[in-house]
Copies of this chain bind each other. A is one copy, B any other.
Amino acid sequence: MASASAPRDAPPVVGIGIVGYGMMGKAHCYGYTLAPHVRPLACRPRLCVISGRNRAAVAQAARSYGVKRAVGDWRALVEAPEVEIVDICTPPGTHAEIVAAAAVAGKAVICEKPLAADYADARRAVDAVNAAGVPNAIGFNYRRLPAVSLMKQMIDEGRIGEPRLWRGTWLSDEFLDPEIPFDWRFRRTLGASTIADLGAHLIDLAGWMVGEVVAVAAQSKTYVSARRDPKSGASAEVDVEDASAALLRFRSGAVGVLETAKIAPCRPCDFVVEVNGTDGTLRFDYARLNELWYGDVRDSSHLYGMRRLRAEHASHPETAGWWPIGQGIGYGASFVNQAADLLQGWPHGKWTPDLAAGLEVQAVCTAIEQAAREERWLEVADVIANATV
């Protein structure tokens, strides 16, 4: 009877530490676990440590997600010798400190977006990884969806000509119910603004596809300005906006419109990005994430209209190792692809997008926040100059 040999030539292990066991920590664990299923990697990711302040919860998370060890303090994770990559999944306000500590410890850093709750902190995080010279990446996971990646590729291929108009809208109802009790998401220094939380993804995509945003005008609005603090029972002030909108000016001459809201009823997490170029249009609607809409004016006018591309073709980016076309992937695939993309050449190669990319996005977020406060147009460069004084 035939018996094949067991897998012998397995690649070297790379130890991962996950800071935070919430939804994002879970998503990242999911990504590392499946990355080898979809892509031959030069290393084997091992989930070594996960950290979190709630002992029972983090221990349960470790069991569920197959992490070897749970710790209560992220510093223990950063210092653990088996951890080579520190993957930060905590609230935005905590990122900079953890990034800095990991960088000082010589660990590679992967950090969830937004990089920080404000520009100065984001700057410090980037300075830290640069000083330490460690590999670093920011978690703009939506770039890893095939349809989104295909959109970028098609723009780079000139399929819509020169981009002129960009629009991105992210509608959620996360903050709609005024009875939702106060928590860290409603405190800007911890959870960051809505423009940074949701908008960071859109601004990243705008920058990636259309180029640098140089000036903005904006308005923000908070309708539920206080919520009951479940600990104290008292009313706590909300300083995170319910909705923001901005006009964008790109260096290229393109213009854009950005809208983010957490008070849009029956809109769970609906984001749409569209670019109109000189020769065509591309549109991505996250609610139908396996599709990409494309129209090309150079097509026969008899076929006027847009195509609904099924962004799962083997020739499309980020589809390697996934299902046959038509079966569809979900949100989780973005984390699997992110893990696979980053680990593919480990420990060599440069990660992208890196924290510096996160900082650029943060600059635009900060400019939008300030432009809304001051009710005027602002140059992003000026905002940066002031923010880093």
Contacts and interface: CB of A to CB of B under 8 A. Distances in A.
Interface in A237-293: 242-243, 245-247, 249, 253, 255, 257, 259, 261, 263-270, 276-281, 286-291
Interface string A293-305: 0111100011111
Contacts of A330: 290, 323, 327-330, 332-333
Most chain B C-beta atoms within 10 Å of own C-beta, residue among A36, A261, A323? A323
A75 B2 CA distance: 9
A276 B263 contact: yes
A62 B30 contact: no
B23 A323 contact: yes
Interface in A194-252: 217-219, 221, 223, 242-243, 245-247, 249
A321 to B, nearest CB: 8
Contacts of A307: 303, 305-308
A152 interface: no
A265 B160 contact: yes
Contact of A315 (B66, B68, B302): B302
A373 interface: no
B315 A309 contact: no
Given A325-B268, A332-B323, A217 B276 contact: no
Interface string A156-189: 0000100011010101110011000000000000
A33 interface: yes
A37 B305 CA distance: 27
A30 to B, nearest CB: 6
A29 interface: yes
A59 B3 CA distance: 11
A265 to B, nearest CB: 5
How many copies the complex holds: the figure is 4
Given A3-B76, A307-B306, A247 B267 contact: no
A10 B63 contact: yes
B34 A266 contact: no
Contacts of A310: 268, 304-305
28 contacts: A1-B73, A4-B52, A4-B70, A6-B68, A7-B59, A33-B37, A37-B66, A164-B242, A164-B243, A167-B169, A173-B297, A177-B297, A217-B219, A218-B247, A219-B249, A257-B257, A265-B276, A266-B296, A266-B304, A266-B305, A268-B304, A269-B324, A286-B326, A294-B303, A302-B315, A302-B316, A305-B307, A328-B330
